[in-house]
Amino acid sequence: MNDVETMTTAGSVDAQPRVKVIARGVDVFYGEKHAIKNLTVDIPDRAVTAFIGPSGCGKSTFLRCINRMNDTIANCRVTGRIEIDGEDVYDPALDVVQLRARVGMVFQKPNPFPKSVFENVAYGPKLHGLARDRTELEEIVVRSLKRASLFEEVKDRLNDPGTGLSGGQQQRLCIARAIAVSPEVILMDEPCSALDPIATAKIEELIDELRSNFTIVIVTHSMQQAARVSQRTAFFHLGTLVEEGATEQIFTAPQDRRTQDYITGRFG
């Protein structure tokens, strides 16, 4: 409860936050399957928005629409409009590579490259030509690792394989890797589901710190986590967005019966 109160205070500071991502009438189909139905949502800038809901309700699908990761799925079709800062994400003229540089992603299972810690973080900046020389690249890597609160733990083994770190460290490495390309939005798809409670706590702490610089969208199955880290919460059910609002409001006074049932554990 205490957490939620802190959040409320934080939320009240920017009571009317700028909207970063908007979605209007989004439908997603996997072949015949209608995965998301007419979804409309606003995601505020420099805040954490949590998507909750039972498995298979479409929250991950929607998350992957924001940086068009669904493009890699052969029979996936997206209609409707998603905008970041007023720019249409599905505009054919838009370069998907540039989009993904602006919208970073952290996956459910830590997936560092089987390369050194340094190479993991340096890959994105190298790809986008963010560093002119080695020193600059090193600066970016160190800064990113520090922002992901991983630097102190790995500073002596930057050349060891990233896959040799513990699960929590690997996930923070993935976060460092994502923020190394200075994205505006970071999408997190159940980033703590494969971690133990201590590693989870560290990631949550990190998310809270990152909030001041990035727009973060997090999909989670843990309602406590949503309550702890997010300012806004959206509840999905069977491909529709049931309810969206300030986290405190969703958890204390849900408007919809289904939301109430879900957060009180009556189904899900």
Partner 1 sequence: MTDAALSASTSPRRPVSAAVQARLKARYRAERRFRAYGLFALLLTSAFVVALLGDILVRGLPSFWQYHVTLDVDYKADVIDPAGKREADALRSADYSQLAQQALQEAVPGITGRQARRALSRLLSTGSGDTLRAAVLADPALIGTRQKVQLPISADSDLYLKANGGAPSATPGKGALTATVDGNDVALTANGPEFGAALAAVKDILAARARTLRTEMARIGTGGSDASKARLAELRAEAEKLEARATAKDQPEEVDGNMPSLLVGWGEGLVKIARLGPDKAEGTALLPVGDGGEIKAGAWSLRRYAVPENARKTTDQEIAFLDRLAGAGRIENRFNTLFFKAGDSREPELAGIRGALVGSFLTLLVTLALCLPIGVMAAVYLEEFAPKNRLTEIIEVNINNLAAVPSIVFGLLGLAVFLNFFNLPRSAPLVGGLVLALLVLPTIIIAARAAIKAVPPSIKEAALGLGASHQQAVFHHVLPLAMPGIMTGTIIGMAHALGETAPLLMIGMVAFIVDIPGGITDAATVMPVQIYLWSDLPEQAFKAKTAGAIVVLLAFLFAMNGAAIWLRKRFERRW
> Which CB atom, from 193 or from 249, has the smaller least distance to partner 1?
193
The three-point CA angle 23-28-31 to 5° equals 170
Pairing outcome for strands 185-189 and 240-246: unpaired
Could you tell me which stretch among 10-18, 47-55, 92-100, 148-156 binds partner 1 (CB under 8 A)? 92-100
The backbone torsions φ and ψ at residue 18, rounded to the nearest 5 degrees and listed phi first, read -65, 145
Rounded to an integer, what distance in angstroms lies between the CA atom of residue 5 and that of residue 26? 33
Please identify which residue in 6, 12, 79, 98 interacts with partner 1, judged by CB under 8 A.
98
Site string for partner 1, 161-190 (x = CB under 8 A): x-x----------x--xx--x---------
Please identify which residue in 25, 31, 56, 114 interacts with partner 1, judged by CB under 8 A.
114
Site string for partner 1, 197-236 (x = CB under 8 A): ----------------------------------------
Element (H, E) at 245: strand 240-246
> What is the token pair recorded at 107?
């996956």
Count of residues engaged in binding partner 1, rule: CB under 8 A: 27
Please identify which residue in 123, 149, 213, 261 interacts with partner 1, judged by CB under 8 A.
123
Q: Interface residues for partner 1 in 37-76 (CB under 8 A)? A: 67, 69, 72, 74
Check: CB of residue 62 under 8 Å from CB of residue 22.
Answer: no
Could you tell me which stretch among 99-107, 142-150, 209-217, 243-251 binds partner 1 (CB under 8 A)? 99-107
- Identify the CA nearest to 241 among candidates 72, 28, 38, 70: 38
Check: CB of residue 43 under 8 Å from CB of residue 232.
Answer: yes
Q: Which residue has the tokens 């996930």?
A: 171
Residues that bind partner 1 (CB under 8 A): 67, 69, 72, 74, 97-101, 104-105, 107, 109, 111-114, 123-124, 127-128, 161, 163, 174, 177-178, 181
